[in-house]
Structure 1
């Protein structure tokens, strides 16, 4: 796996793990209602983390799917910046980094199915 794909995978899965940790901590400290309010901005981040776990698979659909979920995460987390809730500016920044990394040539070559002929 090329470094750019590994870096995108680490960022995507790390964002998902951060979401799980924030929701769990919020639920433990302030109750289930606070956990739900904290968890809503992390929904696309959790999806991005799950897609990041499939980066060992072959096919451009995984790369394009990860890019689309990262774009969704980028726009979904903007209101959390204005409200002062997690993930704040970390959501758009990580999403932008994942998008840039997955558009690199090495990433396109990694996900491209090998030609049999």
Structure 2
């Protein structure tokens, strides 16, 4: 038997007033996802071990059969390999986000 695993990574999102208090997924027309859900089997798996950040990097590593407690070293090596970068055992990969400074209020004031 063949299996397809669909991961709704990031689909939860936030409720938006402009969508009547619904999330984008709740608001969207999803006939294909509805079909798959009604004709397939649905289950729940805990893919993020206790003590790990609940991110897609940890969860996807787990879903692919790698125990994050043994193999997770951060998101950087995963992103490097996904771009075709060959990493040796003594290499280090760093991930950086670009930011823009502006006249807006400090981030702490927005939370």
TM-score range, shorter chain: under 0.3
Normalized per residue, the structure richer in helix is 1
TM-score (norm 1): 0.23
TM-score (norm 2): 0.24
